[in-house]
Structure 1
C-alpha cells in the first residue's frame, strides 16, 4: 500500500504550489476579475513550467506524463483559484497532440500563446453551448457527430457570470470547423478527454473545498464571541470536521479512479463518475460552510472566502447539472454502460495489501470452508453473541485468532498489511465477533503493562483462545467521556484493592472471564489524572452481570461491583496512570471502519431490488451508486489511516476520520436502502432482506460505540484542521 508521491512528483507539486501562491494569489484573482477573469501572465507562467505539455504525447513534443502528475497540478490550481480554463486546456491540448495535423496551434498552446479549450456537448445536437475559456480561446475542440473538429472564428463575448470566469455561450456552428479525426478511434479519444476532465475537476474542487475549510478554521481560531473563540463551539467545529472527510474523500475517489484505470479495473469508469459527482457536492457544501463560519463577514467582498464559494459552483457547471454524473455512475455500475478512458501513465498510488496478505486470506477462507460447520456458521453475528468457542479456539490453534498482534502473542510473523487483510477476511467470512477484537486489545495491554502474575496466569489463556475479555469503560453517567469514570478503587492495608461501582455497556461480560476496568483511584486531581486500570476476574465475589438487550439483536450488560477485592498484581500500569495505560487501546478503537458491512449491505440491497423488479430504474441505480461512493470513500479513508500508522507518517486524526465517516454513512445509507426496498424491507425473513433490516438496526450503534461521532469530530477538528480544543 502506498499513498506517497515520488520524489519527482513532490518536487513538481512544490514548484507549482510556490508559483501559484505568488501568481494566483487572491489579489491576482481579484485583479483578473476586473476584466474577463483571465490572467494572461499567469497562463504564460504555467506554460513556462511545462503545464500544457504535461499530457501531450512525446512524439508531438510533449512530456507524456501520467494522470496523477497532472492531478497534482489541478489540486493546487483549485486551492489557488487559477484564473483560466486550465482543466479544459489540459485535455484539449492533449487531444491536439493525439489527433495531429495542427503543429503550429499545438506549439502555441504548449507555449501559452494561445488558449485551446473543449466543448462538452456534441455540436450536431447542440451547436450553441457554454464554453469554459470561450471568451479568450483561439480554438475549441468539439465533437460533431462522428467527427472531432477544431472550431475557430467564433465570437465569444464575455458577459457577467457567477464567478467572473472567462466562460462564454457560443454558437459553434457559426465558426470555421476543421476535421481533426473521424470514426471510432477519434471519438474514443474525445470521450476519454471528457473523462479526464472529470478527474481534473474532481481534484480541483477538492482543493477548493479544503482551502475554504482551512480558511474557516483559521478564522474560528481567532474570532471570539461571548468571550470565547468560536472554534471551541462544536456547532462551528463539527460541521467543518465532517466536510474535511468529504473533500479528502472526493480527492481519494479521483485517486482510486486513476489507479483503477492503471489496473484496468471494471470499476474505473464508474469511479470517475462518482469522483466528479461527489467532488461537486462536497466542494459546494464545504465552501458554503466555510463562508458561514465567517458569519456576516463572509458575505463581504473584503473577505476572500466568497471567491471560493463562487468558483466551487461555477467551474463544473459548464458541463451541466452535476447530478447527471450520479445517474451516469448508476448506468456504469448496473446497466453495463461503457466509455473510452484516458491512459493513466505511471501511478505511484497502491492500495493492494500484497501477496502475503492474499495467502493469509486464502488460508482463512480454507479453514472456514473445511473446519467450520453449518451449525456453527448459523450462530455468526456481528455482535458478541456471534462468539462461537469452537471457532475461536480453532483460529488460535492455527495462529490466526489475533493477526493484528505481534508474533510473540499471535504466533505468526506477518507483515502489518497481511494482518489487516486477515482481519478483513475474517469479517468477510462473517466471523467478526467483537470478542476476538477486545481479547486482542486486552492481551496487548497485559503484555505491555501487566505484572508477571498476569502474564503467567491470564495472558496464555487469552492468546490460547480459551477465554474472552470485556471492557469496563463506560458508566451510566459518563458514556463516551470515559475519563469521567467514578467506579471507585480503594487500596487496602495489605496492598490489595477494593472496587465498588457500576459499569454500563459491558458487552460480552456474560461470555467473558475477565474485564479490563478503568477506575477512579484519586478524586482530588483533574479527572484524567486520577484513574487506574485493572484486570478483574468476572467470577470474583461481588460481581453481578445483568443483561441489557438492544433493538439491534444483541445483548450487552450492566455490571455491578460491590466490595470486589483483587490483588495489586492485577493492576495495569501505574497508580493514577490509567490515562496513559489505556491510550493505546483507545487508539486501536479509533482506527477502524465499517466498509465490510457496508459492502455486504449494498450487495443485499442489489439482490432485493432484483427481487422487487426495480433494479433497472434510474432511482434505484442512483441510490445504489451513492452508497457505493460512500463505501469507496470509507475504504480510502481507512487505507490512509492504516498506511500512515504502519509507515509512521504524520497522522492528522486519520483513524477518527475513517471511523466517523464510515459509521455515519453506514447509518444514512442503511436508512436509504431500507426505504428503497420498502415494503419488503420491513421483513426479517431469512436472506438478503433480513441483512438489510439488521444493518439498519446495527448502524444505529456504530456511531456510538468505539468512540461516538461527536468525540471523533472534535478530534478531527483539532488535529486535522488545527481548531482549538472543544472538549473539557
Structure 2
C-alpha cells in the first residue's frame, strides 16, 4: 500500500505550487477578474513549466505523463484558483495530439500562445452551448454526431458576459462557426469520450483543492477571531462542521485517486468511480466553501476577504457541463444498468491500495478455516455484538494463531506482516466473526504484556492469547460517558498493599461472558482528574462484583457492573499508581484507523438483492441511492487505507484514524436509514434475509457513532490534529 508520491512527482508538485503561489495569488486572481477571468501571463508561465504538454503523447511532441501527474497540477490549480480553463486545456491538448493533423495549433497550445478548450455536449444536438474558456479560445474541440471537429469560434461567435465566478466562459453558437473534422468513427469518438471522463477527474481533484484551501482559511480565521472572550475555534459549533468537511474533501480527492488506480488496474469499478468522484467532489466542495465562508461570519460576505472567491469558484467550475446531480444518475447506470464508456489511459500510477500477496494468503487461509472448521449451527450464532462470541470458533482460531492477527508474534503466536494483519482482521469481519470479544482481548493482552506484573503475565496472559477467556473494558461510568478520565470508581490501597475497589462502571459490554475486566479507577482525588487514575485487571468472579444486564434495541446486550469492596492484590495493577492515562495509551497501538466498511458493503449487497426482489432496481431513484451509498463506502475504504498506511509507515498522525472511524460510522447511520426508506415497507420486517439484515443495520448503526468514542469526540480530534484548531474538549 502506498499514498506517497515519487520523488519526481513531489518535485513537480512543489514546482507548480511555488509558481502558482506567486503567479496565481488572490491578488492576481482579482486582477484577472477585471479583464474577464483570464491571466495571459500566468498561462504563459504554466506553458513554460510544461503544463499543457503533460498529457500530450510523446510521439506528438508532448511529455506523455499520466493522469496522476496532471491531477497533482489540478489540485494546486484549485487551491490557487487558476485564472483560465486549465482542465479543458489539458484534455484539448491531448486530443489534438491523439487525433493529429493540427501540428501548428498543437505547438501554439503547448507553448501557451493559444488556448484550446472542449465543448461538453454533442453540437449536433446542442449547437449553442456554454464553453469554458470560450471567450479566449482559439479553438474548441467538439463532437458533431459521428465526427470530432475543431471549431474556430471567431471574434463574433460568442459574447462574454458577467457570470458567477468571473471566469472566461461564454455561450457560443458552435454550429455557426467554421469547423474542421479531426476524426470520424469509433476510434475518434472513443478518444473524445475518454477526454470527457478525464475532464471529470481533473475537475474533481481541482475542487478538492478549492475545498481544502477554504477549510484552511476558515481554520486559520477561527484561530484568530474571538467572540465572547474565546477563540471561535474552541466552539464545537465552529470546529465540528469543519472536521466533517475535512473528511468529505479528503474523501473527494481519494475517490479521484481510486478512479485513476482503477483505470490503471483495468477494474470494472473505474467508470462508476469517475462519475462518483465528480459528483461527490461537486457536492463536498460546495459545502466546504459555504461552511468556510460561514466561519468568517459577516466578513465572509465582504469582497475584501478572499473566502468568497472560493465560494464562487467551487460552484462555477463544474456547471459548464450541466447539473452535477446527473452524474449520480450516470454512476447508477454504470453500476446497475451496464452502461459503459471509453476511458483515458492512466499512465504511471505511484499510489497503491493493494495489501499484497501475503495478505491474500492469510485471507485465503481464514476463509478455508471458516469453510471447513465452522459448522452452520456455529455460523448461525454469529453476531456483530458480544453475543456473537462462539467459544469453539474462538479457540479454533487461537490454535491456528489467527485469533489476534493484529498482535506481535510473541502474543499472537505467528509472524504476520503489518498489511497482512490488516487484511486478516478484515477477513474475520467479512466472515461475520470480527467480534468485540476478540478485539478487546487483543487490547488487554497487549496492555498486560507492556505493563503487567510477572504474575499477570504468568497466570492471565496465556489464557487470553490461548483463546480460553474473554476480557471486558471498564472505562465509562454512569455520570461521565466518553469522558473516561472523570472516573469516580475508587481504588484504595490497604495496609498490606492490596487494593479495595468500590464504584460502578457503565457499558461494560461482555462482562457477562468475560473472566476479567480492565478497570480504570481513581486512586488520588486531590490532583487533576487526568493524574489521579490507575489501571487494574479485576477478575469478574471476585466477591463483590455484580453484573447487571442492559439490553439495547440493537439486539445487543451490554452491562452495568458494580464493585462493592472488591479486593485484589497489587500485582493486578497495570502500570504506575496514578499513571492510568499513560497505561491507556497502549491501547492506541492497536488503532489502524478502521471503520465499518465491511458491514456497509454487506448492507449494499442486501439492498441490491432486496430492490431486485421488489422490482425497483431498474428505477433511477434506486440506482442513485445505491450509488450514493457506494460512494460513501469507497470513501470509507480510502480513509481507512490512509490511516492504516500512515500507521504502518510511521507517518505523522493528523487525525487519520478518527477521521476513518467517524466518517464511516456516520455514513453507516445515514445510509442505513435511507436504504430502509428505499425498501419500505418490507424493511419493517425482521424476517431472515436481506430485509431483516437492513432492519438490523439501521439499529446497529446507531451504536457505531457512540462506542469506541462518540463522533463528537472524534470530530474534536480531527479538528485539532487535521486543521490545527484549538482544543475543544475539557
Q: Partner of 1:156: helix, strand, or coil?
A: coil
1:367 corresponds in structure 2 to 369
Alignment of 1:196-211 (within 5 A): 196-211=198-213
- Structure 1 residues 560 and 590 mapped into 2: Cα distance closer, same or farther (>3 Å)? farther
Q: What do residues 186-241 of structure 1 show as CA deviations (whole Å, max 9, x unaligned)? A: 00000000000000000000000010001000000000000000000000000000
Q: Give the TM-score, by structure 1 length.
A: 1.00
- 2:425 maps to 1:423: yes
Return the offset for 1:414: 1.3
Alignment of 1:132-531 (within 5 A): 132-154=132-154, 155-531=157-533
Contact preservation (8 Å) 2:592, 2:643: no
Contact preservation (8 Å) 2:446, 2:586: no
Return the offset for 1:651: 1.8
Contact preservation (8 Å) 2:406, 2:590: no
Contact preservation (8 Å) 1:590, 1:707: no
Contact preservation (8 Å) 1:474, 1:482: yes
Return the offset for 1:135: 0.2
Return the offset for 1:585: 1.3
Q: How many Å separate the matches in 2 of 1:71 and 1:668?
A: 31
Q: What do residues 116-154 of structure 1 show as CA deviations (whole Å, max 9, x unaligned)? A: 000000000000000000000000000000000000034
- 2:31 maps to 1:31: yes
Q: Give the TM-score, by structure 2 length.
A: 0.99
- Structure 1 residues 590 and 292 mapped into 2: Cα distance closer, same or farther (>3 Å)? farther
Q: How many Å separate the matches in 1 of 2:131 and 2:437?
A: 59
1:104 corresponds in structure 2 to 104
2:79 corresponds in structure 1 to 79
Q: What do residues 169-191 of structure 1 show as CA deviations (whole Å, max 9, x unaligned)? A: 00001111000000000000000
Q: Choose the corresponding residue for 2:559, options 554, 557, 560.
A: 557
Q: How many Å separate the matches in 2 of 1:488 and 1:592?
A: 33
Return the offset for 1:252: 0.2
Q: Partner of 1:528: helix, strand, or coil?
A: helix
Return the offset for 1:156: 3.0
Which 5+ residue runs of structure 1 have no aligned equivalent? Answer: none
Contact preservation (8 Å) 1:380, 1:431: yes
Q: Partner of 1:214: helix, strand, or coil?
A: helix
Q: How many Å separate the matches in 2 of 1:591 and 1:132?
A: 40
Q: How many Å separate the matches in 2 of 1:74 and 1:329?
A: 23
Q: How many Å separate the matches in 1 of 2:365 and 2:63?
A: 45
1:650 corresponds in structure 2 to 652
- Structure 1 residues 276 and 702 mapped into 2: Cα distance closer, same or farther (>3 Å)? same
The root-mean-square deviation of aligned C-alpha atoms, in Å, is 0.7
Q: What do residues 325-355 of structure 1 show as CA deviations (whole Å, max 9, x unaligned)? A: 0000000000000000000001011000000
Q: What do residues 592-648 of structure 1 show as CA deviations (whole Å, max 9, x unaligned)? A: 200000000000000000010000000000000000000000000000000000000
1:62 corresponds in structure 2 to 62
Q: How many Å separate the matches in 1 of 2:119 and 2:73?
A: 22
Return the offset for 1:588: 3.7
Q: How many Å separate the matches in 2 of 1:202 and 1:522?
A: 54
1:93 corresponds in structure 2 to 93
Q: Partner of 2:529: helix, strand, or coil?
A: coil
Q: How many Å separate the matches in 1 of 2:5 and 2:370?
A: 39
Q: Choose the corresponding residue for 1:624, options 620, 623, 626.
A: 626
Which 5+ residue runs of structure 2 have no aligned equivalent? Answer: none
Return the offset for 1:669: 0.2
2:611 corresponds in structure 1 to 609
Q: How many Å separate the matches in 1 of 2:483 and 2:212?
A: 30
Alignment of 1:124-135 (within 5 A): 124-135=124-135
Q: What do residues 391-434 of structure 1 show as CA deviations (whole Å, max 9, x unaligned)? A: 00000000000000000000111110000010100111111110
Q: How many Å separate the matches in 1 of 2:19 and 2:412?
A: 51
Contact preservation (8 Å) 1:589, 1:706: no
